[in-house]
């Protein structure tokens, strides 16, 4: 038995959405989330392995029933070709962040040490700042951000989650 | 063959079988209109773009074909918005074609520029912005395919003025290629078999029928199922006229203003078979209170409608006609005498509740509608507006013509009826078309009397004039301390107004004048408006207060 509006069993779900690369399709998708009042945590989009097909990773905070509606409503968009919930699959999930942190000659070494521990990279150094690139799970990115915060974060950008199922099962074949 | 964009548009419409379009010209569709006389398409010049969209909608509902409306850029396009949303909400296939500023001016806030594809994104099934003549044929081919197939809806095609004038080689695309759009039309046979088993076991089944059955033209199959297994049929507002309502198995409309016996049957049913309905809130009231004892089978062409509002025990995704054809042979003949007897008891009780207005002297709307129904033998195409008039029509007109009710259900657009009747009458010139509207709604699109006159359409208008925005006044009476804020309307003399347009006008103030006025209207060949000055503070009963279960109705008072 499924019921449409249950708000008790919310969880974070990761959807992979494949869509034809047509004008307006991205705003179509984001519009859908807004107007149906679905709660998006992150959304990333880029090319897939097939020319003309874009691949979006969406993280929503939703109950099973709402997630089912999200998925069905996405399918209703003419240019959406495939929607897969990979939350329970064995998937590789990564996020990239660029962090510009306040750094002067006295603390550069300390920052470098922390960056090394996280296997992140320093990609730019200026008189009063360093820019760090990190790729990893959201938790890992969160941790580095927290560690660096006391130095003074001047600028931060995160891509949001991108995901891919491990091994041979890829969402566009199903 | 070389053609310009405007010619391509009309040629594509002709190939899609379009015979009539409803529109208004304007700066950015002059090239389009310039080519129209060369094509076998009738153009109905409306007086407002909203009305053009409603007329296309009424045409589509009356004929089962795609309705087409045309408007210019900017305000022409934004005026369409209400009509597009209305069609989309009620699953009506329309294609709206709008002009747009030249492609080089897009995004510069040019004169009469508006981002109509952006504006209509959430209220269309799909839309297109076409900036090159060479892309028009493909866009229009897809637009019609999308509008009429699957869960039908509204599609908008916005065409820049340079695309209308650009020359290119015309080739009609033989097929559409939309990998992400493949509507599922045949029900899964395992689920259909399971549905038959559930129906065969049910003791107190009720069919709940929505507009999907009308769209699929599955009336014969529905009737066969109902009669074979003796299942009473309740319909949504838009499902009305899917089954001849004089059939004893028909319970009429259920829901917020549904008949008590229909609602009681739904609440006590052990099985509800919903077909082509979205279990909308006006029907079910609070979803968790709906049909507490019943298992629910839900047949719909749109997977997103299933389990959207109510729990569903057995979903079947498919076209109502296909599913019913599969289902009927698997269902055993059955009799549910005991169940029907219980329902008949409730029905008799409801009749008791109706007696006072039948016997009273007051000019009440029920009497008007019932008289109209008798005189037209339930065979007219009724186009109702929104509000009390719509509910009285739904309760008292016994529809025997398949698809004989056209009304704005989902969006509840006041002002819908008059322009929609234009589309209905143009599409079905052989049929009697009657508008039922209140004085509030009629005045929202009353300019269309001019279109009716210009096109010599014999539309008859029954105006239920109570000098109020009546449904809201009723809510104020019941739930807001009779604070009639902003509901009284001082109207014009509608009969004189009609006469000013060249339309026959009749005013009726007494109950005994009703029959003669209706008969006179039917004898007049052209359009007629009858202004029925009904009881001002008359209410629609039964009424389910918001959020209550549908069996907790405020019933009709037994005395007036």
| Cα nearest neighbour of A34 on chain B | B122
Q: Are residues B91 and B237 in the same domain?
A: no
Tell me the residue ranges of DSSP E strands in A73-170.
80-85, 91-102, 121-125, 129-136, 153-158, 162-165
Provide the CATH number for the domain formed by A92-162 in this structure: 3.30.70.1150
Contact B30, B189 (CB under 8 A): no
Q: Beta partners for B205?
A: B271
Q: Are residues B44 and B162 in the same domain?
A: yes
The Cα B64–Cα B17 span in angstroms is 12
Of B117, B180, B287, the CB nearest to A24: B117
- Looking at residue B443, the DSSP 8-state letter turns out to be T
Q: Are residues B145 and B286 in the same domain?
A: no
| Cα nearest neighbour of A81 on chain B | B180
| Cα nearest neighbour of B143 on chain A | A78
Instruction: Determine the pLDDT at residue A3.
Output: 41
Q: Are residues B376 and B444 in the same domain?
A: yes
Contact B69, B49 (CB under 8 A): yes
**Mean per-residue pLDDT of chain A:** 89
Q: Are residues B232 and B163 in the same domain?
A: no
Q: Are residues B196 and B163 in the same domain?
A: no
Q: Give exposure, A129-163, as e/b (b: 16+ Cβ within 10 Å).
A: bbbbebbbebebbeebbeebeebeeeeeebbbbbb
Sheet holding B504-508: strands in order across?
B405-407, B381-384, B433-438, B460-465, B528-533, B504-508
Domain boundaries, chain A: 11-85, 92-162
B559 occurs within a structural domain = no
B541 occurs within a structural domain = no
B264's CB contacts (< 8 A; 6+ apart) are B343, B346, B551
Q: Are residues B140 and B207 in the same domain?
A: no
Does position B196 have pLDDT exceeding 80, yes or no?
Answer: yes
Which residue from B67, B15, B18 is spatially nearest to B46, judged by alpha carbons? Answer: B67
Q: Are residues B195 and B163 in the same domain?
A: no
Contact A40, A164 (CB under 8 A): no
* CA B71, chain centre distance (Å): 22
Please indicate whether the domains covering A11-85 and A92-162 agree at the CATH topology level. yes
Instruction: Determine the pLDDT at residue B287.
Output: 93
Does position A169 have pLDDT exceeding 70, yes or no?
Answer: no
Tens-place pLDDT, residues A41-89:
889 999 999 999 999 999 999 888 889 999 999 999 999 999 999 998 8
Entry pTM? 0.94
B492 occurs within a structural domain = yes
Of A24, A68, A80, the CB nearest to B180: A80
Distance linking the first and last C-alpha atoms of chain A: 25
| Cα nearest neighbour of A28 on chain B | B121
B355 occurs within a structural domain = no
The Cα B504–Cα B499 span in angstroms is 6
Tens-place pLDDT, residues B209-247:
999 999 999 999 999 999 999 999 999 999 999 999 999
Given pLDDT bands bounded at 50, 70 and 90, which one contains residue A35? confident
Q: Do the Cβ atoms of A4 and B146 come within 8 Å?
A: no
DSSP output for B88-102: HHTT--EEEEEEE--
Q: Let me know if domain A11-85 sits in CATH 3.30.70.260.
A: yes
Does position A174 have pLDDT exceeding 50, yes or no?
Answer: no
Q: Best interface-test mutation with A: which of B148, B184, B304, B305 has the largest number of A CBs within 10 A?
A: B304
Q: Are residues B146 and B200 in the same domain?
A: no
ipTM: 0.87
Q: Are residues B119 and B153 in the same domain?
A: yes
Q: Do the Cβ atoms of A24 and B129 come within 8 Å?
A: yes
Count H helices and E strands in chain A, helices first: 4, 9
Residue of higher predicted confidence among B357 and B554: B554
The Cα A8–Cα A13 span in angstroms is 15
- Looking at residue B333, the DSSP 8-state letter turns out to be P
Tens-place pLDDT, residues B237-294:
999 999 999 999 999 999 999 999 999 999 999 999 999 999 999 999 999 999 999 9
Does position A1 have pLDDT exceeding 60, yes or no?
Answer: no
**Mean per-residue pLDDT of chain B:** 96
Instruction: Determine the pLDDT at residue B359.
Output: 78
Which residue from B53, B61, B62, B67 is spatially nearest to B17, judged by alpha carbons? Answer: B67
State the alpha helices, DSSP H only, in B216-336.
219-228, 260-268, 281-284, 320-327
Q: Are residues B56 and B157 in the same domain?
A: yes
3-class secondary-structure state, position B155:
strand
Tens-place pLDDT, residues B90-140:
999 999 999 999 999 999 999 999 999 999 999 999 999 999 999 999 999
Of A1, A20, A69, the CB nearest to B179: A20
Instruction: Determine the pLDDT at residue A170.
Output: 55
CATH code at position B335: 3.40.50.1220
Q: Beta partners for B128?
A: B157
3-class secondary-structure state, position B392:
helix
CATH code at position B453: 3.40.50.970
Of B118, B180, B307, the CB nearest to A19: B180
In chain A, residues with a C-beta closer than 8 Å to the C-beta of B151 are 76
Q: Are residues B444 and B319 in the same domain?
A: no
A78's CB contacts (< 8 A; 6+ apart) are B125, B126, B146, B178, B180, B181
Q: Considering its fold, how many domains does chain B have in total?
A: 3
B172's CB contacts (< 8 A; 6+ apart) are B11, B12, B15, B137, B141
The parent domain of residue B164 ranges over: 2-169
């Amino acid at each position: 038995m499924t019921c449409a509006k249950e708000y008790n069993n919310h969880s974070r779900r990761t959807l992979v959405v494949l869509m034809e690369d047509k004008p307006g399709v991205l705003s179509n998708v984001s519009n859908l989330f807004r107007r149906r009042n679905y709660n998006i945590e992150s959304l990333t989009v880029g090319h897939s392995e097939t020319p003309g097909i874009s691949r979006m990773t969406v993280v929503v905070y939703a109950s099973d029933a709402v997630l089912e509606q999200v998925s069905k409503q996405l399918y209703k968009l003419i240019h959406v070709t495939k929607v897969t919930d990979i939350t329970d699959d064995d998937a590789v999930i990564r996020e990239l962040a660029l962090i510009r942190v306040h750094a002067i000659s006295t603390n550069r070494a300390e920052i470098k040490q922390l960056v090394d521990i996280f296997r992140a990279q320093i990609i730019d150094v200026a008189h009063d700042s360093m820019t760090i690139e990190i790729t990893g799970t959201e938790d890992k990115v969160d941790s580095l951000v927290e560690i660096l915060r006391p130095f003074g974060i001047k600028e931060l950008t995160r891509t949001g989650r991108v995901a891919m199922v491990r091994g041979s099962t890829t969402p566009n074949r199903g | 063959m070389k053609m310009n964009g405007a010619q391509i548009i009309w040629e594509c419409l002709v190939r899609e079988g379009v015979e009539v379009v409803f529109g208004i010209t304007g700066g950015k569709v002059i090239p389009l209109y310039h080519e129209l006389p060369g094509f076998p398409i009738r153009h109905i010049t409306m007086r407002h773009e909203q009305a053009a969209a409603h007329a296309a909608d009424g045409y589509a509902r009356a004929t089962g074909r795609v309705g087409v409306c045309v408007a210019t850029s900017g305000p022409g396009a934004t005026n369409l918005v209400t009509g597009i949303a209305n069609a989309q909400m009620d699953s009506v296939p329309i294609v709206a074609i709008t002009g747009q500023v030249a492609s080089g001016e897009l995004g510069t806030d040019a004169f009469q520029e508006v981002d109509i594809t952006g504006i209509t994104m959430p209220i269309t099934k799909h839309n297109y912005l076409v900036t090159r003549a060479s892309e028009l044929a493909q866009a229009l081919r897809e637009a019609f395919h999308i509008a009429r197939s699957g869960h039908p809806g509204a599609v908008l095609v916005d065409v820049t003025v340079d695309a209308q004038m650009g020359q290119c080689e015309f080739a009609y695309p033989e097929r559409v290629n939309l990998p992400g759009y493949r509507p599922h039309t045949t029900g899964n046979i395992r689920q259909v078999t399971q549905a038959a088993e559930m129906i065969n076991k049910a003791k107190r089944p009720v069919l709940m029928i929505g507009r999907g059955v009308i769209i699929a033209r599955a009336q014969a199959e529905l009737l066969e199922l109902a009669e074979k297994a003796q299942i009473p049929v309740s319909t949504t507002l838009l499902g009305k006229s899917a089954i001849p309502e004089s059939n004893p198995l028909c319970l009429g409309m259920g829901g917020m203003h549904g008949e008590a016996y229909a609602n009681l049957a739904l609440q006590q049913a052990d099985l509800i078979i919903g077909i082509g309905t979205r279990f909308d809130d006006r029907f079910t009231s609070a979803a968790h209170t709906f049909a507490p004892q019943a298992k629910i089978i839900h047949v719909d062409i749109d997977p997103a409608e299933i389990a959207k509002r109510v729990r569903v025990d057995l979903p079947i995704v498919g076209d109502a006609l296909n599913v019913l054809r599969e289902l009927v042979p698997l269902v055993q003949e059955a009799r549910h005498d005991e169940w029907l007897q219980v329902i008949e008891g409730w029905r008799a009780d409801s009749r008791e509740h109706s007696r006072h207005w039948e016997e009273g002297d007051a000019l009440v709307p029920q009497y008007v509608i019932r008289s109209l129904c008798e005189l037209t033998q339930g065979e007219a195409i009724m186009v109702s507006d929104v509000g009390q008039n719509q509910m009285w029509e739904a309760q008292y007109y016994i529809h025997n013509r398949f698809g004989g009710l056209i009304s704005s259900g989902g969006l509840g657009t006041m002002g819908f009826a008059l322009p929609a009747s234009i589309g209905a009458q143009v599409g079905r010139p052989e049929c009697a078309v009657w508008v039922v509207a209140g004085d509030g709604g009629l005045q929202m699109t009353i300019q269309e009397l001019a279109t009716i006159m210009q096109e010599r359409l014999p539309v008859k208008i029954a105006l239920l004039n109570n000098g109020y925005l009546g449904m809201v006044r009723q809510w104020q009476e019941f739930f807001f301390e009779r604070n009639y804020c902003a509901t009284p309307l001082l109207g014009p003399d509608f009969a004189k107004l009609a006469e000013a347009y060249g339309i026959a006008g009749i005013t009726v103030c007494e109950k005994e004048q009703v029959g003669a006025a209706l008969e006179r209207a039917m004898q007049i060949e052209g359009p007629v408006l009858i202004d029925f000055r009904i009881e001002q503070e008359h209410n629609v009963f039964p009424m389910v207060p918001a959020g209550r279960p549908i069996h907790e109705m405020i019933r009709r008072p037994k005395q007036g």
